[in-house]
Amino acid sequence: AQTVTQSQPEMSVQEAETVTLSCTYDTSESDYYLFWYKQPPSRQMILVIRQEAYKQQNATENRFSVNFQKAAKSFSLKISDSQLGDAAMYFCAYRSYLTGTASKLTFGTGTRLQVML
């Protein structure tokens, strides 16, 4: 079974600064997908960024980028130019390449990000 570990329960960053949230995972599969979701106080889970394991290039979405290290099974999220609206709970998630039951997402325990003025 796959597991996802987020070792930082809480992080803080100054507005306009850069912060990196870490995520490691354990799997025996070679093909899979990785996601970062954001959950603000409004509770709506929002997809931030996604990565296909077979792609070596790191995904980027505006101020959000990932550092995907397949051999190390690491998938960290970098937020540049942090804004007050980035304050939220961030979840790292793993999805198998397979379909059926395996299409579920396996989530980490989350990192709460505070953005300071």
44 binds other proteins (CB under 8 A): yes
User: What's 80's DSSP letter?
Assistant: -
- Give Cα 19 distance to the centre of its chain: 13
Binding mask 9-38 for other proteins (x = CB under 8 A): x-----------------------x-x-x-
Stretch that binds other proteins, among 14-22, 60-68, 77-85, 107-115 (CB under 8 A): 107-115
3 binds other proteins (CB under 8 A): no
Which phi and psi angles does 79 have, rounded to 5°? Answer: -115, 120
Q: State how far the Cα of 79 lies from the Cα of 49, in Å rounded to an integer.
A: 11
**Alpha carbon separation from 86 to 23, 27, 48, 95 (Å, rounded):** 18, 29, 11, 24
Binding residues vs other proteins (CB under 8 A)? 4, 6, 9, 33, 35, 37, 42-45, 47, 50-52, 91, 95, 97, 99-101, 103-110
